[in-house]
Amino acid sequence: MEEELSKNDSSVVINFSIRESSSGDCFSRFLSGGDSGVSIWERLWREYTSDDLKYDLLLAPHHCSWRSLSHDSWSDNGNNAEISEDARSALAQANDDAFIVSSSKPVVDDDNDPPCIRAKREYSSILGSTGIFKCTGEEPTRKKPEPIVFQGTRSGFRLAVTAAAIASVASAAPPRAGSDD
């Protein structure tokens, strides 16, 4: 008999593969788990292959909550909270140069969860030296967050240069030699 799921664990977990129509080669993969908690990620790890969970872009579950990685409460246990190896394994199927994005307020070192600083540390560890962790509440600055825009490519995702980013760089740039400015 199925256990009763909380509303968070009833979230849709989906992995999109964006493919080139002419060859069928995979361009990029986007994994989103909504607000799914640790028991859902453990179950996914037991029931699916690592290839099913691979991604180039992961939307960190539940706004970068520790509860997606552990049964222990971060606010009660802090650094003594134990990670679920199965949940971490499910969330660790990042391709090289992957991104993990927390859709949350800035992630700071405090007792709040979500977002949780230790979850951010785990995601950064998953990405290693080739991946990038981003937080929507911190981009481009904490004073004035802007959307983070990604573009799918043959080898995963890359950050897209937006008109707003170009305008902010142009307004901050010193005048060019020979200009009237």
pLDDT value of position 17: 86
pLDDT value of position 123: 98
Of 116, 115, 36, 38, residue with least CA distance to 70: 38
Six-digit token string for 11: 């979230």
The DSSP call for residue 166 is H
Q: What are the pLDDT digits (tens) for 65-76? A: 999 999 999 889
Q: Which residue type sits at 120?
A: K
pLDDT value of position 104: 94
Specify burial of residue 131 (Cβ count, 10 A radius: 0-12, 13-18, 19+).
buried
**For 89-93, what is the mean pLDDT?**
98
Q: Provide the pLDDT confidence category of residue 122 given band limits of 50, 70 and 90.
A: very high
Determine the 3-state secondary structure of 138 from DSSP.
helix
Give the chain's mean pLDDT.
85
Distance of alpha carbon 13 from alpha carbon 68, whole angstroms: 13
Q: What are the pLDDT digits (tens) for 12-50? A: 889 988 876 666 666 789 999 999 999 999 999 999 999
Of 152, 122, 130, residue with least CA distance to 30: 152
pLDDT value of position 152: 83
Q: Where are the domains of the chain?
A: 8-172
The DSSP call for residue 161 is P
pLDDT value of position 181: 44
pLDDT value of position 21: 63
pTM greater than 0.85 (yes/no): no
pLDDT at 146 over 70: yes
Q: Which residue type sits at 126?
A: I
CA 67 from centre of chain: 15
